Copies of this chain bind each other. A is one copy, B any other.
Amino acid sequence: MRILGVDPGSHATGFGSIERVAGRFVHRCHGVLRPPAGASIAARLHYLHTELLAVSRAEAPDAVVVERVFLAANPRSALILGQARGAVLASLGEAGVKVVELSARQVKKSVTGTGAAGKSQVQAMVTRLLALAEVPAADAADALALALTYAQAGPLADLPMSTRRRSSRQAMTRLVMERLP
């Protein structure tokens, strides 16, 4: 099983791919797509679409996990984030891959044990869980954390917290801890 995580953003879109090898998940690749700063919005979104389509096709994941949007943002930032998500999701539709969404809170909780974890905590835990030689950039770490959470919780991760049984959540957290080196 191969899983690609994507954290869409207009300035930086993180991606990270992991794969199950001999019963555990190993790192395949990660990166951050940064559209050319001086380009038009159409050119920037085209860049995101094209680059992520290339990544999706090269990785051919069984599932792509995209961060679910936290809706407390104001309309302007929601619109700008929506545009980046639109280019990203259209490319995933073109690649024909399965797309699931997880909230940042679910991912932080699963990877670090607390839904209120900061970026550096997520970066540190992703580095440990995947035994990386270097700490990935924050956006790439978020993408790898999305993939890890889905990899470990499976279809359960796609459900709202309230509809899951407490035991399932505990099992998910335990799974994460067991994979620590």
Which residues of A pack against B, CB within 8 Å? 40-50, 69, 71-76, 78-94, 97, 99
Query: A97 vs B93: C-alpha distance in the bound complex, in angstroms?
Result: 23
Number of copies of this chain that the complex holds = 2
Query: A89 vs B90: C-alpha distance in the bound complex, in angstroms?
Result: 11
Query: A72 vs B72: C-alpha distance in the bound complex, in angstroms?
Result: 15
Q: Which of B47, B73, B85 contacts A86 (CB 8 A)?
A: B85
Seed contacts A69-B79, A81-B82; 11 additional CB < 8 Å A-B pairs: A40-B99, A45-B93, A46-B93, A49-B49, A80-B82, A82-B82, A82-B83, A83-B85, A84-B86, A85-B86, A87-B90
Query: A47 vs B47: C-alpha distance in the bound complex, in angstroms?
Result: 18
